[in-house]
Amino acid sequence: MDPQAKLGFIGTGVMGEPMCRNLARKSGASVVAFDARGEPLERLAADGVRTAASPAEVGAAADIVFLCLPGGPQVREVCLGTGGLVGRLRRGQILVDMSTSPPALARELAQACRGRDAQFADAPVARTREAAQSGTLSIMVGGDASVLERLRPYLACMGSDITHCGPAGAGQVVKLVNNLVVCQNVAVLAGALALGTRAGIDGALLLDTLSKGSADSFALRNHGLKSLLPGHYPERAFSVEYMLKDLGYALDLADDLGLKLETAEQARTLYRRAAERGLGSLYFPVVRRVIEA
């Protein structure tokens, strides 16, 4: 890791803020960041992160630019819109999209970066906000292996598991599959809790017993015990709206590849009902309320 490196970070939201903080604290490099909201940047200043006035200012100052944005439209605007980052890239710069975006957009960005003699990697993340805070995210990387090796020390500041999934876009594919599985697991757990408790079984006993058998899972031990069981569905977490966005990307990809994923379509129907009931900004396990209703 080069302590003289200049790093940029665009998008300091629910996940991006702790990721940027870990990057600044652990890398020893200078970090400049931009977000549309000032509050996270004010907090990050205590960790030595300098505030930029625009994405273009981040790109001008940094050798490696990390993005952590809400989705594809925001990534496209920041990178390919009028005055976007890609058109300003210098030879040898690296653009790293840690958002969850469509794989086709990742491939488009990789090609555009090559046209500027710059490099690109998609590196979306999985696990919880707590994992973002502790620097134990799972990071799925698409791009050239040589680019990953240059990025690895910085990604290790934010994640404990870094996997090279293949060429540009492959990281996004794996992330979408991850969320496809998680959203269905959580919906099934919500239904299981609704059924068990309505039949008179204590919810804590039910989940504890399931965790000792073949029904155990990461979703049960995290989303189940920490959210579904206590009915804790905060805002500023991975929301129903975000899950619907990722489900949409995954199902669009399935459609492009000639697959019909019926269970995923059913899950999307449940999450859409949650959004229609005004629950879209809440942590996505709130789908339990739809099932119980």
Neighbours of 146 (CB within 10 A): 9
For residue 148, the tally of other CB atoms under 10 A from its CB is 21
Q: Which of 6, 26, 175, 226 is catalytic?
A: 175
| Residue-wise burial string across 243-265, b where 16 or more C-beta atoms lie within 10 A, e elsewhere | bbbbbebbbebbeeeeeebeebe
- Residue 83: left if φ>0, alpha if ψ -120 to 50, beta else—which one? left
Please give the C-alpha separations between residue 96 and each of 52, 75, 120, 214, in angstroms, as whole numbers.
Answer: 18, 11, 6, 38
What whole-number distance in Å separates Cα of residue 197 and Cα of residue 199? Answer: 5
Three-class DSSP category at 82: coil
Planar angle of CA 162, 141, 90, nearest 5 degrees: 120
Given a contact cutoff of 8 angstroms between Cβ atoms, the answer to whether 19 and 127 are in contact is no
> Residue 272's closest CA among 257, 284, 259?
284
- Whether 6 sits among the annotated catalytic residues: the reply is no
Q: Residue 83 is inside which H or E element, if any? A: none
CA angle 7, 9, 12 (to 5 degrees): 150
Q: What per-residue string of b and e applies to 178-189 under the rule 16 or more CB within 10 Å gives b?
A: bbbebbbbbbbb
Active site residues: 175
